Structure 1
């Protein structure tokens, strides 16, 4: 028999970066628990991604806004796959708009998913590792505004991601010297379903915006492969990993113009 497979739990993983990450982890021989608020959607995604994989994929329902759902996700992962080695707080919601334009419900929903979802995930995972007396890792997916950069028309989302950065920095200190490894992933601009939705709401892109997006954006699969390698091999505690670095942007700007948007007919 070969070595025991690792298991990763990814919240919000039936689409976008989460789904791409799940696929890449399966390709690396790591079992994956996908989750969504819709159980049928989670099961369908797991069945599709795991069809030809040697590692196992299961899909479970979870609303990260509810601590009891997150606890149940951990418990079911342990029951069905024997334990958890990597927990990824990936579930997120980005709604564009200035502070005075967003509705109370928009802001509340983003804070509940993007901030409280991370709080619930971190607490569940750290407590779970302690109770199981086994080492493990907790990672959180960052987003625009996580470094404090001011972004027009992203007030609520960017504020939530800035809060998450602070939370993960605190968790890194609280778990330093323990068997729990923590880290954050900054994926840059990725062409996800959420990006397509918000672009349509904004009325599309002008030529200047298209050129900018073509320069800095990436496909989910590209970022998923990058993130999977980190989750599988990282040993550094409390580190933030950035895919889209200033150096990478400069290097891209010196090359022939990218046309990543051509892969998305709805953005034509």
Structure 2
């Protein structure tokens, strides 16, 4: 981890769960971590829970990644204040109750905007920052077993409605991004992980 000392990692959905756990690990490893999330108070709680000597390396930024303008402002701040992005962890995601064929289109849109478009907004800006500075950065996509080929939901479980197609889409976004970076001769690496879905 030595080469990542004081490098800048951006984590979406950093206020809880996997995002918060990643933030704790990376801050402890010596990275400057920008936590993006909608819930300001949860980000504040996370920062206060860190050891005192690590709190200064955690930068909380209220941001709903489903809103492109908020993502733009967050990344503008990162460029201005921290010099750019070296690591991106696309983690933000939501699931809402209901079945795809019955639920309101507004709810479907919220899921797709957060889980899929939010990752695309962040990925484009992070990759742009890495490419402009010619750094060997890393893009991570936190996915789900619901987004891999062959996924078959248990009929006894709640419907994952638009969550499943959003995660299938994220699988494709990662693969396209990976191929494009190779074609451009970029040193940026990509990783996708499929977390076991449990409700």
Question: TM-score of the superposition, structure 2-length normalised?
Answer: 0.84
Could you say which structure has the larger radius of gyration? 1
Distance in 1 (alpha carbons) for counterparts of 2:83 and 2:48? 19
Distance in 1 (alpha carbons) for counterparts of 2:55 and 2:43? 19
Partner of 1:188: 196
Structure 1 position 117, deviation (Å)? 0.5
Partner of 1:209: none
Partner of 1:174: 180
- RMSD of equivalent CA atoms: 2.2
The change in CA–CA distance for 1:185 and 1:55 in structure 2 (over 3 A counts) is farther
Distance in 1 (alpha carbons) for counterparts of 2:195 and 2:30? 22
Partner of 2:26: 25
Structure 1 position 136, deviation (Å)? 1.3
Q: Which whole-Å deviations, capped at 9, do the CAs of 1:201-251 have from their partners, x for residues lacking one?
A: xxxxxxxxxxxxxxxxxxxxxxxxxxxxxxxxxxxxxxxxxxxxxxxxxxx
After TM superposition, the structure 1 stretch with the greater mean CA deviation from structure 2, 50-59 or 93-102, is: 50-59
Partner of 2:102: 101
Q: Which whole-Å deviations, capped at 9, do the CAs of 1:144-165 have from their partners, x for residues lacking one?
A: 4211313241121111100110
Question: TM-score of the superposition, structure 1-length normalised?
Answer: 0.64
Structure 1 position 50, deviation (Å)? 5.5
* Match status 1:9 vs 2:10: yes
Distance in 1 (alpha carbons) for counterparts of 2:139 and 2:111? 21
Partner of 1:249: none
Give secondary structure in 2 for the equivalent of 1:155: coil
C-alpha contact (below 8 Å) 2:140/2:190 kept by paired residues: yes
Distance in 1 (alpha carbons) for counterparts of 2:59 and 2:51? 8
Q: Which whole-Å deviations, capped at 9, do the CAs of 1:28-80 have from their partners, x for residues lacking one?
A: 22221111124444344234335342871110011111223222222322333
Give secondary structure in 1 for the equivalent of 2:144: coil
C-alpha contact (below 8 Å) 1:43/1:60 kept by paired residues: no
* Match status 1:155 vs 2:195: no
* Gap regions ≥5 residues in structure 2: none
